[in-house]
Chains A and B, each alone.
Chain A
Amino acid sequence: MDISEKPIILIVDDTPENIDILRSILHEKYKIKAVLNGKKALQLVDKKPQPSLILLDIMMPDMDGYEVCKKLKQNPSTEKIPVIFISAKNQNDDKDKGLALGAVDYIAKPIIPSATLEKIHQHILVNH
């Protein structure tokens, strides 16, 4: 990856308002891509340049975040991209389930900007 370029973060969320908020928090430090559903996300991640991190909503119609994560982890070309779940389902079970599926972290909605930014920053640093 070109060091001068911002790392790409892919946001997967069916609620545009949530994308708005995440974008507003992240856009200064990162290049943002956004999709409304899992299917579109899976299509996009195969294209280069791949995102450095994926922020994944859990509750989405048709294909939920867990399913998306599973598929990402099954695909050798995407399995290394760190996934962070972002969801209003703030239950420990969900967190555990997400982590068991290979996610690196879990952020509960409503989002606290500074903490979220810090968490994402850490994960991107670790990965590069």
Chain B
Amino acid sequence: MEVNTGNESLIKCDNYIANIIDSTPDPLFVIDRSGHILITNNQALIEFGYTEKELVGQKVEILLPKELRGKHVNLRDEFFNNGSVRTMGEGLELYAERKNGEHFSVEVCLSPIVKEKQVIAVVRNISKRKESERLIQVRDKYITALMNSTPDPMLVVNKQGEIVLINHQMQVVFGYEEKELIGQKVELLLPKELLHSHVKLRDQFFENSSVRSMGEGSELYAVKKNGNKFPVEISLSPVPEEKQVIAVIRDITKRKSIDIALADAAEKSRASNKAKSEFLANMSHEIRTPMNAIIGMSYLALQTKLNRKQHNYIQKVHRSGESLLGIINDILDFSKIEAGKLEMENVEFQLEDIFVNLANLLGLKAEEKGLELMFNLPSKIPYLLIGDSLRLGQILINLGNNAVKFTEAGGDISIKVRVLEEKDNKSLFQFSVKDSGIGMSAEQQGNLFQSFTQADSSTSRKYGGTGLGLAISKNLVQLMGGEIWVDSQLGEGSTFNFTVEFDVVSKPETDINNIDSELLDLKDMRVLIVDDNAMAREILTEMTNSFGIRVEQAASGSEAIDLLNQSAHEDPYQLVLMDWKMPGIDGIATAKSIENNSQLKNTPKVIMVTAYGQDEASNAGKDLKIKSYLTKPVTQSTLLEAILLAIGSNSHRIKHSEHQKNKSSLDIAKLQGAHILLVEDNEINQELAKELLESNGMLVTLANNGLQALNQLKLNTFDGILMDCQMPVMDGFEATKAIRAQSKYTSLPIIAMTANAMVGDKEKVMSVGMNDHIAKPIDVAKMFKVMAKWIKPSGYQKESDVRNNELEISSESFTSLYGIDSEAGLKITQGNTHLYNKLLMKFKESQRDFIEQFISALESNDHSAAEFLVHTLKGVSGNIGATTLYEYADHLEFQCREKLNKEEILSTITQPQMELSHILDSLDKFFNKNQTVALEQGRLDKEKLNALLDECNVLLEDCDPDVADLLPQLYQVEGIIILEKLLMLLSKSIEAYDFDEALAIIEAVKKEANL
């Protein structure tokens, strides 16, 4: 800076001032009265782009935009006239111009130096500040737009709770104008009851603020200007720098009402569903009572004498009743599940028992349909489990029935059990039911376990069913804490799997697993398994292996014979497990050829494995020395029993399956011939009980009430009384008292039957002198058990009338029998030819081995066993009228009782032996040959038969159901008995209107009869 001065001290002072001027951050000018620039500083030169020379002496207007220069001259003059320190052009935007012509915003501060008539102008470039101010304004607009664009009301509140900012929606929703809200406490918008607590909450929020929803978990309300309260959701975001909070308020009135409506609807539907389910569950009793009558009475009707047509109708009523009951049970189960009323039991059970039952139920169905049913159980099943065995059985039956339903003849069904996990006292089981049936696509599997659906609705017509079975199974499995699923492919069968966990009471230790001592006998054995079905072979092999027995397999009879021959000399087989029905040489034929095979030094024992009833098999194999029969599906214990029986093990093991089966039959045996007085007022119960007792060999007399019972006692002798308690005229309690009052009846067994098995019932019946108590509905096994405990039959009684509908057997037919005085025999059966027939059959079966057993008893010096055997022989001979044999037996018995030495006894045995053998021969002929005699003697009336069959053919071709009228005529054709089975099939198919099938059967009949 250059300043023109005179002396040194002045120069010094000028430099000092020049320094100060240069140090100001803004451009500075000193201007004289005429507007000339006198002094500038460095900042001025830098900002405006001039050199000092270019500026000093120039008019100040050079620094202004050209358009303003003229106006400025006036302003400048005015300022010099009455200027003071002030900001220039207040309220106006000021601009300056650089040397290069650029304009920029400025703020100018003017200070007059009055004495010199000069002015100091400090010019500040404010373009940066201006820009940032502009940006802030833009941002504000942006935010306002943003706030206004949200559909929800928004507001900003400061720490004092005052509303600082709102958006447009606030006005719309709350009905206030902006000015009515800004600066007001936010509590203005809240319902009165919240005012107080909100202030506190607001303070707390500012102390510990974060972005969050307000009042989480509680219902929030806001109030409009008009006082209306409405539900809201509020989210808060703090602005800590400003101690403010942004609140977004959402009106949820609509959503709330939808929520309420939905909840209402859900509740309503749940309630109505529950009501429906409960109604159904409660209907159980009402539905079952008439169902019981339909099934029970039709069953009874079927036991009576009916013509073919009537029998057919009633049979259909009966079957329909049963299937309806099945459906009802399904629906009731399902509704119980839905209503949450199905409770699981926790009882001890053995898995084996469930499978025995399953075998009984499914085995027959599988057999009827020509399916192979197999069980594959692990060798070490925990012995005693705790759980709901009934429901487990129900699931298995359900899945098993489905498998049978959806598998065509010739297919396989296997049911497998695996223990997946064992820990502490629990075991996790997986059950799998596998079939080779029609299978399912992935899509079909999708809605499989839903109620009321089957894999495909078109299958429902073909296969029937409610579509509830799987849904019920699924629910039952879930209630037992397991899972159920299916693996299947269309056309390739299905496997239904489920898991269930059971408590284990005792580890494998007894029965099938505690077989160590029994297995000692088996250790060195070698067994051959013969079955055409590979899976059946595998399962049987696995089971047999688990006993530690060496096992080999053969897939056919001829392969078996080859294998037996190959090892005839070295390590021969001791036992053959033989499937009965095999293609090629069947089991019976194979067994026969094994027996007759002279190459075999030690003929192996044969166990016949059969899916068919044991009786049928043993009948077919009656000429063979087959040691035991095994019914499919085989379980571990039935297999072991059969093996032990076949090899004659000395084991005293109680047969598990027999034990189960025979519990009742032992009781029933004890009751044979007992004469029972049944005192019961309800007609249906009367008939059902009567039928139950009669069909199990008891004689029943009815009384409708106590009084009638007393009258009956005067007329007849009874072995026991079954007494209903609630009866009109005279109830069971009264009647019992009256009976006991008579001295001769003090020990007559009287058993109460009461419908309400309440605690205390038993005490009550005992107190009036009854012996015991049976609860209704009757559990047959329990009933017989109780009856057998008290009632001892006094002797043979006439067989009841129920059997009348069976074919008449003429008494003359027995006269041809050797050594049997049938007249005497029939006297014993009181002329009942059926009973007599039965006795003869029994005699034939039970006494066949008499001589063998008798001699062996004598040889082991077991006189008492021998005496027992001969005593039995004597008894049964007497019963059938085999008088000569009776006398021989009487003599032998005497000898045994007197303990004569065995040689002496044996020397007298020839005659009884001969006699018995003749009688057995004669009986064999009588029973087995009788039916074939007709054909052998050519007594079949072929001409008549052929004519009738042709007539049938014509009607069948025409789909005329009247063909059924020809059936009785067919049955009357002489000698037709040999074709009885085919005729039965024919009737069946005609009754089912399956005329194509009927035509095929007629072909078969013609072929069989050589027509």
Contact = CB atoms under 8 A, between A and B. Distances in A.
Interface of A: 10, 14, 16-17, 19-20, 23, 31-36, 40, 44, 47, 59-62
A108 to B, nearest CB: 17
B461 A59 contact: yes
Contacts of A36: 992-994
A16 B316 CA distance: 10
Contacts of A19: 961, 993
Given A59-B461, A61-B458, A61-B462, A17 B316 contact: yes
Contact of B959 (A14, A16, A44, A61): A44
B995 A20 contact: no
Given A16-B993, A31-B960, 18 more contacts: A10-B959, A14-B461, A17-B316, A19-B961, A23-B961, A32-B960, A32-B961, A33-B958, A35-B993, A36-B993, A36-B994, A40-B959, A40-B995, A40-B996, A44-B958, A44-B959, A59-B461, A60-B461
A12 B288 CA distance: 33
Nearest to A36: B993
- Contact residues of B: prevailing secondary structure: helix
B960 to A, nearest CB: 6
B213 interface: no
A34 B462 contact: no
A19 B961 CA distance: 10
Contacts of A34: 959, 961, 993
A10 B960 CA distance: 9
A86 to B, nearest CB: 15
B991 interface: yes
B957 to A, nearest CB: 9
Interface of B: 313, 316, 320, 458, 461-462, 958-962, 991-996
A56 to B, nearest CB: 14
Contacts of B958: 33, 44, 47
A17 B461 contact: no
A91 to B, nearest CB: 15
B461 A20 contact: no
Contacts of B962: 32
A86 B283 CA distance: 30
Contacts of A14: 461
Contacts of A44: 958-959
Most A Cβ at <10 Å: residue of B320, B462, B992, B993: B993
A33 B994 contact: no
A36 B959 CA distance: 10
A105 B170 CA distance: 68
A61 B961 contact: no
A35 B995 contact: yes
A33 B959 contact: yes
Contacts of B961: 19, 23, 32-34
A10 B961 CA distance: 11
B461 to A, nearest CB: 5
B993 A61 contact: no
Nearest to B312: A20
A35 B458 CA distance: 20
A92 B462 CA distance: 24
A51 to B, nearest CB: 10
A31 B955 CA distance: 12
Contacts of A17: 316, 320
A35 to B, nearest CB: 5
A30 to B, nearest CB: 12
A10 B462 CA distance: 22
A59 B313 CA distance: 23
B967 to A, nearest CB: 15
Contacts of B959: 10, 33-35, 40, 44
